[in-house]
Chains A and B, each alone.
Chain A
């Protein structure tokens, strides 16, 4: 089967859709025109770059190059997940925790699937590991950012309540437990919503991409089922690991609450 080849000028035409959003933003005085414009250009540049990088990776079977691309994606995910946190530890302290939580979550979802479900000829086959790995890293990034943001913000606003629990003899884990439960529920709910609405409301990008590019729909949906299950594992594992790190960062060795200055906003 073949697919419709898309010249760049037609892709640029699709960019008019962003202009519609920018016009609406200006009309409603949302002040988001610049963000929308920069976001659209960044998205195009990043995707074009990864497109060419994948082309090179697929043409040359180089495990080192595949690992390097994965490592770059992983690092950017970790960096991004720490960038929206307004109250919390300094980024230098948070980044390694984020990196580890994303890695453990994405690894827990990726490695068993590569070993027992997809079973590609080579573990470093860029055709599988880069797109699927990217989806896992991206999902883990969002979950980790959400868990960190929620826990550090709750600790800052509810510091007095947390301290009361500690004063009554609670361990850091016990004092933070209600907040961790709420943060993990918050992180898992979008994934659960995705599970129950997939095929009814949403047709996920990977599946539609496969169908558009000529794959058999029944094969495309099988891939999608596997991806959905992986995303559940990513959310649960990376969320739990992020919560573990947050607890270690929030309390001193004497189980006292650490406090931080509110960060000035920085955007990645």
Chain B
């Protein structure tokens, strides 16, 4: 990936298997988030391609691809409206409406009280917003979940809840790629660990 003449990520090849967890670590600015955005088709690739079950992203269709390959950024933004409105928005883009029970279930899975559903999403704390963003991404029932620093804005107890929710998700079959710079969190997630340095991805995953 090249932007403004600067090589951001080079020669990165990642295969994400169903029900497997992969974590990506490395120093700040080494291209981890850029790689995640590229896999989510949100950042342009200068070369190379993205395959989902052997099909190119452009053949799957970018909108369909993004529903199947969910992406949660480090600082998620809430849309206008309640927490429930936010959780419902992904399915609503393809004319599917989620029942209240489904919204409550998604909130519970990320460690949020279902009673929070009626709250104005933009009034929540950073940690709560991150968990709403995760629930919002899960509402599309993705096959792959890309998540950038899932514990950055969480207190230690909430971080454990989110990490365990991610592990449970992977056990149900979702392929998970998480960026984290906290060694202990990478260990809790388990799976393979890739290390990145200056835009270059470590050739072979290291066992965690």
Contact = CB atoms under 8 A, between A and B. Distances in A.
B98 to A, nearest CB: 13
Interface residues of B, number: 27
A168 B66 contact: yes
Contact of B42 (A158, A166, A171): A166
A155 B84 CA distance: 24
B64 interface: yes
Given A164-B76, A167-B40, A169-B67, A255 B62 contact: yes
A219 interface: no
B73 A164 contact: yes
B94 interface: yes
A2 B67 CA distance: 72
A169 B140 contact: yes
A163 B72 CA distance: 11
Interface in A160-203: 160-161, 163-171, 174, 178
Given A167-B40, A254-B58, A174 B93 contact: yes
B100 interface: no
A168 B90 contact: yes
Given A254-B58, A256-B44, A167 B71 contact: yes
A160 B79 CA distance: 11
Given A160-B73, A163-B42, A256-B43, A168 B64 contact: no
A168 B93 contact: yes
Interface in A178-234: 178
Contacts of B90: 168-169
B93 A171 contact: yes
A252 interface: yes
Contacts of B63: 169-171, 255
A160 B73 CA distance: 9
Given A161-B77, A167-B70, A168-B93, A254 B44 contact: yes
B1 interface: no
A161 B81 CA distance: 13
A112 to B, nearest CB: 35
B53 interface: no
Given A161-B77, A161-B79, A254-B58, A167 B42 contact: yes
Interface in B56-70: 58, 62-64, 66-67, 70
Contacts of A167: 40, 42, 66, 70-71, 73, 137
B94 to A, nearest CB: 6
A255 B133 CA distance: 21
Interface residues of A, number: 18
Nearest to A254: B62
A168 B93 CA distance: 8
B136 interface: yes
Contact of B75 (A160, A169, A170, A252): A160
Nearest to B43: A256
A161 B89 CA distance: 13
A170 B42 contact: no
Interface in B25-66: 40-44, 58, 62-64, 66
Contacts of A168: 66-67, 70, 89-90, 93, 136-137, 140
A119 B3 CA distance: 57
B183 interface: no
Contacts of A165: 79, 89, 93
A174 B64 CA distance: 14
Among A168, A170, A255, max chain B CB count under 10 A is at A168
B64 A169 contact: yes
A170 B90 CA distance: 7
Interface of B: 40-44, 58, 62-64, 66-67, 70-71, 73, 75-77, 79-80, 89-90, 93-94, 133, 136-137, 140
Question: Which 3 A-B residue pairings sit nearest by Cβ, starting from the closest?
Answer: A169-B67, A168-B90, A161-B77
30 contacts: A158-B77, A160-B73, A160-B77, A161-B77, A163-B42, A167-B40, A167-B71, A167-B73, A168-B66, A168-B67, A168-B70, A168-B89, A168-B90, A168-B137, A169-B66, A169-B67, A169-B93, A169-B94, A169-B140, A170-B63, A170-B93, A171-B63, A174-B93, A254-B41, A254-B58, A254-B62, A255-B63, A256-B41, A256-B42, A256-B44
Given A168-B136, A169-B67, A254-B62, 4 more contacts: A167-B73, A168-B90, A169-B63, A169-B94
